[in-house]
Amino acid sequence: MTESVINYTKANVYDRAVSFIIDHIIITFIWGLSSFLISGSDMLESDFDPTGLRNTMLGTIPFILLLYFCKDLLYGKSPGRWLMGIMVRTEESYQLPSKKQLFIRNLYLVIWPIEYLVLAASEDNKRWGDEKANTVVVYTP
């Protein structure tokens, strides 16, 4: 039996940025919707105090950050990556990274503007999170 060899192509900066924007829109929508649902129907009242909504949104930040940090845990693909046809793999063997590697690479998204400047300037199409977790983003074969 012969083994098939898959040649992976690194994803370009444009596709990676678009996938991030898609993920960001989805997570922001979840954040807004969950805050609205937690605040309840009081938001529809004419004398609604926005302080409660602000406090609810601030209280849900840890949940939202956890979504960002764990967004690639399902087969190395977030919804944005899936739509763009890209995925995260280990740098050496192009296998699915461990959950720890995927979590570590996404921790760096806290400084996402800097991360994307690093990505845009990188010759290897890698951001700091990729470097620290030894991962690479490639097109799905």
Q: In one letter, which amino acid is 29?
A: F
Question: Which pLDDT belongs to residue 68?
Answer: 87
CA atoms within 13 A on the CB side of 97: 28
User: Domain locations in the chain?
Assistant: 13-139
Question: Which pLDDT belongs to residue 38?
Answer: 80
CA distances from 122 to 92, 116, 127 (A): 18, 10, 7
pTM to 2 decimals? Answer: 0.84
Q: Which two tokens stand for residue 25?
A: 């829109």
Q: Which of 2-11, 19-28, 109-118 has the lowest mean pLDDT?
A: 2-11
Question: Which pLDDT belongs to residue 19?
Answer: 95
Tell me what percent of the residues of the chain surpass a pLDDT of 70. Answer: 91
pLDDT digits (tens, 9 = 90+) for 71-114: 998 899 999 999 999 999 999 899 999 999 999 999 998 888 89
Highest mean pLDDT among 44-53, 75-84, 112-121: 75-84
Nearby residues of 62 by Cβ (< 8 Å), 6 or more positions away? none
Map tokens 């940090």 to a residue. 69
